[in-house]
């Protein structure tokens, strides 16, 4: 598949209709986070739902965790097969659990509420542990049935990931096959056309969403790579999945046919339990935290970066300059900046220029000044709920008589520096400029911000006798996890090999 640079997407021409669409999408995403479930066409048979959850005793659970750690350590080709259960601790409900989407819908209660908007959900401890297992050379491939994009947000390599049911935050060009990972939820499902086009000048085809509806077949490329990996695997570890949806649920069994083993970690019984070498009934995060501890592997923090584009245009009229500042998404005017609540614009060295607060997207400001005016403009970006800090700022020096130099910095190096600084300082809010393009009467720049940092403490996950899930219990584990999710809960990541953002 083709790849591209983060900033290659051009801004579409401004129109009221497009702007309204972006704002409408932002408002919808803030109100609820299960748009995917509501967009699916109706289906009567969604498998067995509402089955009781089982919890192994602390002693039994610890023994099974140790057994699983040995299996992982001895494995030569480990493949992990994930379901909705690995994302529930991020605030996203599952489908067939006691309070799952299908369970409540069958009871006539509609779609359950989620603790965070879909686009602000953060990778869980398990997601980040899988990143470290891959880095350590133990994990070879991940097959996911989830559409929440948390594997990609965690930084897991795209080339080692098969997303069988698609990704709610990803579009694809049907012609040149370039993938585009977004920081907002795509408007449609069912492999339909989206409002955007391919950024390749030689293509320009209308993009399509990647999420399957019930009647859609699994994408051949994803399915073929998943099946090949399962046949090669000597261990397929199934995490947080009921293993009911065909044909995906049968893939792990391919390893058994070739002498491999299957291990299952799930709170409910599955139809494949009898064929598994190990079945663990426990919270996925607790089990994986225990495995990581035994293997002496550190669970890395999750650090999210978000991006904005600044556009400063001006026209000269006699001795005056009329200028316009716009702050938009790097994906274009139509895309909402979901992590921003407002922008305060002030002019520290000019008492004659009044500050202003921009509340509506797309953020825009128009002013008129003297042609000879030289001033500083301070933008204070107020972040939305779910971010790890309240604000960050950019200072711009404006001189309409002098054109600035254009440049493009190494994106991967800049983002790595930002993340290292955020981890060292244990806080979010850092920002850096990635590129600037200067023309005689226009200047465009792209900036990156660290908006979240989450650390995962395995000490919070010591094996204990659970009486309910983390998200619903009043235990210290629940409160500690909830605190970290509030401190920062979102994600954005793209593979340098297969994705274009």
Catalytic residue numbers read 165
**Alpha-carbon gap, residue 336 to 117, rounded angstroms:** 14
Closest by alpha carbon to 164, among 208, 224, 121?
224
User: Do the beta carbons of residue 363 and residue 352 sit within 8 Å?
Assistant: no
10 C-beta neighbours (distance < 10 Å), count: 10
Q: How far, rounded to the nearest angstrom, does the alpha carbon of residue 240 sit from its chain's CA centroid?
A: 18
**Alpha-carbon gap, residue 327 to 348, rounded angstroms:** 20
Please tell me whether 293 is known to bind a ligand: no
Sign of the alpha-carbon torsion through 12, 18, 22, 28:
negative
Q: Where are the alpha helices (DSSP H) in 107-141?
A: 125-135
Please tell me whether 320 is known to bind a ligand: no
Closest by alpha carbon to 169, among 21, 336, 381, 8?
336
Angle between helices 284-294 and 125-135 (to 10 degrees): 30
Please tell me whether 173 is known to bind a ligand: yes
What token pair was written down for 236? 């397929």
Angle between helices 58-74 and 284-294 (to 10 degrees): 60
CA atoms within 13 A on the CB side of 214: 11
Please tell me whether 230 is known to bind a ligand: no
What token pair was written down for 121? 């959900």
What token pair was written down for 243? 């293993």
Whether residue 247 is preceded by a cis peptide bond, meaning omega within 30 degrees of 0, is yes
Annotated binding residues, as ranges? 173, 176, 198, 203
Annotated binding residues for Zn(2+), as ranges? 173, 176, 198, 203
């Amino acid at each position: 598949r083709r790849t591209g640079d983060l900033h290659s997407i051009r801004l579409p021409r401004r129109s009221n209709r497009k702007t309204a669409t972006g704002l409408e999408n932002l408002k919808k995403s803030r109100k609820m986070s299960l748009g995917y479930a509501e967009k699916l066409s109706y289906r009567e048979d969604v498998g067995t739902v509402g089955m009781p959850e089982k919890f192994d005793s602390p002693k039994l659970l610890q023994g099974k965790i140790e057994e699983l750690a040995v299996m992982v350590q001895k494995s030569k080709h480990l493949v992990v097969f994930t379901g909705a259960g690995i994302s529930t601790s991020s605030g996203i409900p599952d489908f067939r659990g006691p309070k799952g989407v299908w369970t409540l819908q069958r009871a006539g209660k509609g779609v359950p509420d989620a603790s965070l908007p879909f686009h602000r959900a953060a990778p869980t401890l398990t997601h980040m542990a899988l990143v470290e297992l891959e880095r350590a050379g133990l994990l070879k491939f991940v097959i996911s049935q989830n559409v929440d994009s948390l594997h990609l947000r965690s930084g897991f390599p795209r080339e080692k990931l098969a997303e069988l049911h698609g990704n709610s935050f990803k579009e694809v060009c049907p012609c040149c096959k370039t993938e585009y990972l977004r920081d907002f939820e795509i408007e449609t499902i069912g492999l339909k056309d989206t409002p955007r086009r391919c950024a390749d000048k030689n293509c320009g085809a209308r993009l399509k969403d990647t999420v399957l509806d019930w009647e859609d077949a699994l994408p051949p490329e994803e399915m073929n790579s998943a099946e090949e990996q399962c046949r090669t695997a000597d261990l397929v570890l199934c995490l947080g999945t009921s293993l009911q949806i065909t044909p995906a649920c049968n893939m792990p069994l391919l390893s058994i046919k070739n002498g491999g083993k299957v291990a299952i970690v799930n709170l409910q019984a599955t139809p494949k339990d009898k064929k598994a070498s190990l079945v663990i009934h426990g919270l996925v995060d607790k089990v994986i935290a225990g495995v990581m501890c035994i293997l002496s592997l550190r669970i890395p923090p999750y650090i999210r970066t978000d991006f904005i584009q600044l556009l400063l245009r001006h026209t000269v009229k006699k001795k005056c300059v009329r200028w316009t500042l716009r702050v938009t998404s790097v994906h274009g005017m139509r895309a909402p900046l979901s992590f921003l609540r407002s922008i305060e614009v002030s002019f520290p060295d000019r008492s004659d220029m009044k500050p202003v607060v921009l509340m509506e997207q797309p953020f825009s400001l128009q002013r008129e000044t003297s042609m000879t005016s030289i001033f500083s403009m301070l933008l204070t970006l107020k972040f939305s709920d779910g971010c790890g800090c309240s604000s960050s700022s950019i200072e711009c020096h404006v001189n309409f008589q002098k054109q600035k130099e254009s440049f493009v910095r190494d994106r991967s190096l800049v983002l790595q520096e930002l993340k290292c600084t955020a981890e060292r300082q244990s806080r979010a809010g850092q920002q850096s400029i990635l590129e600037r393009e200067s023309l005689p009467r226009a200047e465009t720049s792209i900036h990156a911000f660290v908006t979240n940092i989450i650390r995962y403490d395995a000490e919070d996950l010591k094996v204990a006798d659970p009486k309910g899930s983390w998200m619903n219990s009043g235990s210290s584990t629940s409160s500690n996890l909830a605190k970290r999710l509030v401190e920062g809960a979102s994600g954005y990541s793209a593979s340098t090999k297969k994705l274009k953002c």
